[in-house]
Chain A
Amino acid sequence: MVKGLFSPGMLPLISISSRTTLDTPTGSWRYMRPLYQDRTPPCQDGCPAGEKVQGYLDLAKKRKFNEAWRLIVEDNPLPAVMGRVCYHPCESACNRKDYDEAINIHAVERFLGDSALAQGLELEPASGGERGEHIAVVGSGPAGLSAAYQLARRGYPVTVFEALASPGGVLRAGIPPYRLPRPILDREIGRLQALGVEFRTGIRVGVDLRWEELQRYQAIFLAVGLSRTRPFPVEGARLKGFYSGLEFLRDFNQGHKVRVGARVAVIGGGNVAIDVARTARRLGAEEVSLISLEPKGELPAHPEELEQARREGIRLLDGRGVRRIQGRNSWVEALEVARVDFQGRDPVTGAVAFTFRKGKGMLIPVETVIAAIGQEADLSFLPQEIRGGGWLLPVDDHGRLRDTNIFAGGDVVTGPARAVDAIGAGKRAALAIHSYLQGVLLEEAKLPPVVPYERLNLAYFIPAKRAESRSLPIRERLAGFTEVESGLSQGMVRLEAERCMSCGVCNGCDNCWLFCPDLAISRKARERGAYVINYDYCKGCGICVEECPRTAMALEEEVQWRR
């Protein structure tokens, strides 16, 4: 107030306001109410393990790498492994792919996993104390490891049975080391041991341990995957020089001597076939052909894997089938390959339907033939009444075999799927087992709706190139089994995390605060990362909601709130 104008006993020279508009609570004008309402980012929705991708990208952006890692291991105990081997459905779901390029999420996850390993971070049990019920997990692939971890951190003693000499399942016996260096796998599994998970390896249930002996456990989780090769129904499969893809990889990955000829034909169009082809190339095969029934573009293999195979000089013969394998002196000599009409694949059994076209086939001279045409479950160790009559284990919505304490998950339930599907299956099974043992109702995780690309306010984003990790030159790759991808540096990881649009989750960008014409949003009093709206003065114009770049706000009818 101006001095002198309010002298005692004097009227001011002109009329002067003595009060502020804070006396007039204009919130009463409002008929729409803005509110902060986080939604589900598409990356999290796209991740079968339910990783909170936006959350750890945001932490990585702020250099909080350890906190970011802790957030990942809530849902997945193997970030360094999965950052390498996962086919990252999160990136296919990422909204940024419609703007410029998807965030390189798997590279960030890998960096966080490696950084935690380098620092020796350990998995920590969740609060809740120790529990008495002992649980058996059969199979130590991604589903078994994930379930064992989730149960162990909830305080349960867990014993994992593995038929092979060391744990890891398909991660160890299937995936070649140029995609997953073994020390990484060993150390992330070692961390589960440190958490208290007991591994009993070299024990095949039904052979080394009777099924009945598992009955002393309070719950059993079956995650045996698909361990048996589907028989190759073509003449000549008994010749020397013919292998099945699964056994080929298993033998090689266990350090057994594996030899291939100079010319190798790999039959199959899936990811295993590509692993086999790339491994054969590294074992010295000069000509590797990949023969798939599916035409190009319909191959079940991940496009990135296919591209890497192409770069390594692997020839794709798509839309073709093998009529017979020609032998000489009981050794493989050539393949007869002909064009086919591909009619489809059964997603559960993996069985394919196709017909050969008329006309002469092509004879390809080869020394080695490896068929990677799919796997099936080996359920012979289970009593008939448990395994049922099907290809896979019949379970209810919660992964439980009817009226038993036996649960199952992973490929043995779903048929061939990705490692990350198994991580998610293991997590869900652990929750189901926990609910079953404690006699509590299984809480269904209800996520808010997913934010589609169209709901973002693109005015607030700038195009930025995706950071790609470098891959090894072809010559160095073929010289051995050195890891192909080099990963991202810390600086690149931060830049990549900066690109995240944080779809549906407030990341404190200030837009709502900045544009409010009524000064009704305060940013000093942020609560849980959000701001506070003063409804005494908010007139409900909705600008904050409209200008939120990421749809972390909503506008609702005021009437609902007045009732």
Chain B
Amino acid sequence: MARDKALKLLNTRDPALKGLLEVPEEEYMYSGHNACPGCGAAQAMRFVLKALGNQTINVLAASCWSGIAGVFPYSALKIPVLHTAFETAAAAASGVRASLDMQGDKETVVLAWAGDGGTFDIGLQALSGAGERNEDILYVCYDNEAYMNTGVHRSSATPYLAWTATTPVIHPQDRPKKDILAIMAAHRIPYAATASVAFPHDLIEKAGKAKGIRGTRFLHIYSPCTPGWRYSPELGIKIARLAVESKVFPLYEVEGGERYTLSYRPRAVPVREYLRLQGRFDHLREEEIGLIQEEVDRRWERLLRWCT
């Protein structure tokens, strides 16, 4: 019953249905940045800034993006960027917000930007503190599911049974991926959502919606990584799309920590199709793929229950 009700609530918006939202023309990024060819994190930043506009300050924790943004004296962004330490994105963003507030500037958006390592692991207490205080910041975690910049080391965002440099094939990741959105929802922040670079219209719409909300807003953006996931660079968007279509990474929103809304009805592709495009899953045996499928299905059913 609950499941049927949830399915009814599904928004069947399709990436092919363009025109629902015109992608803003303006760019807030420069070419020539240091991201690898085909980098999902670069796409994520480009889409988010298209929604936020130039009245934005980016507080950037140590991550791939620290390099992408350009080594001194270069900058890849047209907006101010404050580079900060690994664990401090939320704390530094809170400080920037306080300073703006003191100057009477309520307009400027403070964008905290960190990877999965800086969010799920190292920066979690700072993020939790900011969320608990309901700081007026927009926190974006671009999730490439490992510490990619340091050399593909596992994080608590690394998916179950994936290869990384620190979870080699003989001992792949043995814990499920941490549910960061549930953690953020537990803080009862006004807005938290997942998004994917393969669904730019949905992503830009969510970033725009977050911009209009006061308090702590959290965006979890799925962001493929060519060298870390071991795939040919042109496949990034395809993999990100299959992550959504296979329910590995569902697109949804949580408002006020309680109201769950699905953003897209997946086409229910088997996880095998998603996994087989990536070298980090090459070692999986059939029964292990079955385990992953079970876990994905279980989480999906749980999400549907929450969406009622």
Contacts and interface: CB of A to CB of B under 8 A. Distances in A.
Contacts of A124: none
Given A459-B15, A462-B14, A462-B16, A22 B37 contact: no
Given A20-B76, A459-B15, A541-B234, A515 B200 contact: yes
B73 A18 contact: yes
Nearest to A524: B25
Given A19-B73, A510-B23, A519 B29 contact: yes
A50 B29 CA distance: 45
Given A2-B80, A515-B200, A517-B39, A20 B30 contact: yes
Contact of A537 (B18, B31, B197, B237): B31
Interface string A4-24: 000000000001111111111
B15 to A, nearest CB: 7
B42 interface: yes
With a 10 A CB-CB cut-off, give which of B25, B75, B81 has the most chain A CB atoms.
Answer: B75
Interface in B25-70: 25, 27, 29-40, 42-43, 46, 70
A26 to B, nearest CB: 5
Contacts of B233: 541-543
B235 interface: yes
Given A26-B33, A547-B238, 16 more contacts: A20-B32, A21-B30, A21-B70, A21-B74, A21-B75, A23-B32, A24-B32, A26-B31, A459-B15, A460-B15, A515-B200, A518-B32, A518-B37, A540-B37, A542-B233, A542-B234
Interface of A: 2, 15-26, 29-30, 459-462, 509-510, 514-515, 517-520, 524, 534, 536-537, 539-543, 545-547, 555
B32 A537 contact: yes
Contacts of A462: 14, 16-17
Given A20-B74, A541-B37, A546 B238 contact: yes
Nearest to B226: A541
A459 B32 CA distance: 30
Contact of A541 (B31, B32, B38, B81): B38
A17 B234 contact: no
B38 A517 contact: yes
Nearest to A459: B241
Contact of B31 (A2, A536, A540): A536
B37 A539 contact: yes
A517 B15 contact: no
Nearest to A536: B31
B32 A21 contact: yes
Contacts of A26: 31-34
* B interface, over-half SS: loop
Given A18-B73, A24-B74, A541-B234, A517 B42 contact: yes
A539 B31 CA distance: 10
A517 B23 contact: no
Contacts of B250: none
Given A517-B42, A541-B234, A22 B16 contact: no
B236 interface: yes
Contact of B237 (A23, A510, A539, A547): A547
B82 to A, nearest CB: 9
Closest 6 CB pairs of A and B: A542-B234, A541-B38, A537-B31, A541-B37, A21-B32, A539-B37
Given A459-B241, A517-B38, A21 B236 contact: no
B137 to A, nearest CB: 19
Contacts of A24: 32, 34, 70, 74
Contacts of B35: 517-518
Given A29-B37, A547-B237, A23 B42 contact: no
Contacts of B32: 20-26, 518, 537
Contacts of B234: 541-543, 545-546, 555
20 contacts: A17-B70, A20-B74, A23-B32, A459-B241, A462-B16, A462-B17, A509-B18, A510-B18, A514-B23, A515-B200, A517-B39, A517-B42, A518-B37, A536-B31, A541-B234, A542-B38, A543-B234, A546-B234, A547-B238, A555-B234
A17 B75 contact: yes
Nearest to B80: A2
Interface of B: 14-18, 23, 25, 27, 29-40, 42-43, 46, 70, 72-76, 80-81, 197, 200, 226, 232-238, 241
A493 B15 CA distance: 24
A30 B31 CA distance: 14
Contact of A22 (B31, B46, B81): B31
Contacts of B232: 542
Contacts of B27: 519
Contact of A19 (B16, B23, B42, B74): B74
A323 to B, nearest CB: 59
Nearest to B232: A542
B148 to A, nearest CB: 15
A514 B73 contact: no
A20 B32 CA distance: 8
Given A23-B74, A459-B16, A517-B46, A543 B38 contact: yes
Nearest to A1: B80
B102 to A, nearest CB: 15
A26 B76 CA distance: 12
A21 B33 contact: yes
Contacts of B34: 21, 24, 26
A541 B40 CA distance: 11
Contact of B200 (A514, A518, A524): A514
A18 B235 CA distance: 35
A361 B3 CA distance: 65
Nearest to B42: A517
A549 to B, nearest CB: 8
A19 B46 contact: no
B94 to A, nearest CB: 18
B262 to A, nearest CB: 19
A495 to B, nearest CB: 15
A466 to B, nearest CB: 18
With a 10 A CB-CB cut-off, give which of B25, B30, B36, B37 has the most chain A CB atoms.
Answer: B37
With a 10 A CB-CB cut-off, give which of A461, A514, A517, A547 has the most chain B CB atoms.
Answer: A517
Contacts of A555: 234
Contacts of B42: 517-518
A542 B36 CA distance: 12
Nearest to A18: B73
With a 10 A CB-CB cut-off, give which of A24, A459, A543, A545 has the most chain B CB atoms.
Answer: A543
B31 A520 contact: yes
A515 B75 contact: no
Nearest to B32: A21
Contacts of B75: 17, 19-21
A539 B17 CA distance: 29
A23 B33 CA distance: 10
Contact of B16 (A16, A460, A545): A460
